[in-house]
Amino acid sequence: MDRNGTSAPCTPDIETQRQHPRVRVPARIRYQGAHREGMEHQLTDLSAGGFSFTSRGVTVHTNDFLKGKLLFAIDRLSFAIDVNFEIKSIDRDTGRVGCAFHNLATRELSALRYLIEAYRAGDMVTMGDMISSVSLASGNTRFNAGLVKSIDASGAIIEGRFEIHQYAHVQPGQRVEFKLITEQTLYSARIVDTKVESCGTTYVVVALLQADSPLPIELNGQPVQILLPL
């Protein structure tokens, strides 16, 4: 709570002895326990080096290496980051479990740093800004923001947004590639429909893409990056 008595959007919890500042964010970790049971916990805090959560029923042990997903809700959309992590400490009295990331890839690290800095500064977290930060970190600015809108028996539909000067490259029948922002795999798709919408003082092109190959149902609602030919 600030001096005016209003609640801040997050509460930084920075420890000066630590290399990475910690921040409290509305996120969860999902992973498999020691007996392959599904576990999911609300995070206590998050940093670029790791995270912690509280649970008195954990079946894992210190020094265990695990794979999981960090789950966020951004722009009313679910967003997941795949992570490998090590259990560094377990306090059996309080239930606090401290974890450190292991071999975090550049894209995942860029997404986490954007989220952490935005919450520390009290800024609004948007999917578009996060995708932009990941694109810049990869050194490739040809990617445009998109979202998997639906997945059913007829295939996957992706909605993409493009700047108005890209209009000539965003036409029905045009073939493009896209990928999840935390993966390297490229998928191909065909633009099936476009429209121009006003956006503040400018305009954007909104395009619907039909993926050429089936996508797993769990990718529904996930953000993607769309690559246009130069």
Maximum Cα–Cα distance across the chain: 62
Q: Please, which residues bridge with residue 179 across strands?
A: 225
Separation CA 214–CA 109 (nearest Å): 28
End-to-end C-alpha distance for the chain, whole angstroms: 49
> Residue 106 has what pLDDT?
76
Q: Please, which residues bridge with residue 28 across strands?
A: 42, 71
Give residue limits of the domains in the chain.
27-127, 142-227
Kindly report the CATH number that applies to the domain delimited by 27-127: 2.40.10.220
Please report, for residues 59, 73, 134, 166, the alpha-carbon distance to residue 182 in angstroms, rounded to integers and kept in the order given. 28, 16, 9, 25
CB 88 within 8 A of CB 99: yes
Separation CA 143–CA 146 (nearest Å): 9
Separation CA 148–CA 224 (nearest Å): 7
Verdict on whether the full-model pTM lies above 0.85? no
Write the burial class of residue 162 (CB in 10 Å: 0-12 exposed, 13-18 middle, 19+ buried). buried
Gyration radius (Cα) of the chain, Å: 20
Q: Is domain 142-227 annotated with CATH 2.40.30.170? A: yes
> Residue 62 has what pLDDT?
94
> Residue 91 has what pLDDT?
93
Q: What is the pLDDT along the chain (230 residues), one digit of tens a residue?
A: 444 444 333 333 333 334 567 888 888 999 988 788 889 999 999 998 999 999 988 888 999 999 998 988 765 556 778 899 999 999 989 999 999 999 887 777 877 887 888 777 766 666 556 655 555 555 544 578 889 999 998 899 999 988 877 777 788 999 999 988 777 788 999 999 998 876 666 678 889 999 999 888 888 888 898 987 65
Estimate the crossing angle of helix 127-137 against helix 106-121, to 10 degrees. Answer: 130
